[in-house]
Chain A
């Protein structure tokens, strides 16, 4: 079964970039930009992994992480340019933390593959 990934990112270029490289690997991808749309999407759709940016225009990524962990059992990977937030996000329940400036597109695919497939195997 094809894994589905929800990307929470308000940088439209980066969001589209993630979508393209993930769709190329046959993932089903949805894009949202804020807390309300994230929760709405997760309530209505199957999702194997959330890729979540921390600095969003409308909401804090950490608040979105907390809400996802409170309401769902979906793994969340943070993708951010704020490396100092790593420990706090992991303690809040994120399963992974990608620093954008330290990774390559292949690195993102590896992390998504690792955690999206883990959900499928459960």
Chain B
């Protein structure tokens, strides 16, 4: 397994690559977050991700399928830990249960998982904010 060791994070490319479905849904939010956080234009982030500007724009609009390789590159920028990736996958499944069964009891489970995110970590804070917004919508 290929691991990248950052200053504060250890995250595994293979794990991130496993999360195609989750991050296809979120990719527009993540891309905009990365641009705002780093004060980058679309063209600058596209260069950082080694794709062209038009392709990134279409990703943000949800108009293009994502390759696993690109998902990995985008998520590597968030530097999520293994636990955060797992928690994100679980929350997405809980949202699915909530919609399918109209069961608001699931909300407590979602809140319990949200509390597991380390909000002092920038990537996890982002994920937590994203899911909290979805929960309140």
Contacts and interface: CB of A to CB of B under 8 A. Distances in A.
Chains A and B belong together in one complex = yes
Contact of A12 (B14, B20, B90, B109): B20
B22 A101 contact: no
Contact of A101 (B12, B14, B112): B112
Interface residues of A, number: 18
Nearest to A100: B90
Given A55-B97, A81-B90, A101-B94, A17 B85 contact: yes
Taking residues whose C-beta sits less than 8 angstroms from the other chain, chain B's interface range is 20 to 34
A110 interface: no
Contact of A104 (B15, B17, B19, B86): B86
A13 B82 contact: no
Contacts, number: 56
A24 interface: yes
Contact of A17 (B86, B94, B97, B116): B86
Classify the interface of chain A: helix, strand, loop or mixed. helix
B93 interface: yes
A92 interface: no
A81 B112 contact: no
Contacts of B86: 17, 104-105
B21 interface: yes
A17 B21 contact: no
Interface of A: 11-14, 16-17, 19-21, 24, 55, 81-82, 100-102, 104-105
6 contacts: A17-B15, A17-B89, A81-B93, A100-B90, A101-B113, A105-B83
Given A11-B93, A13-B92, 4 more contacts: A13-B18, A13-B20, A13-B21, A81-B93
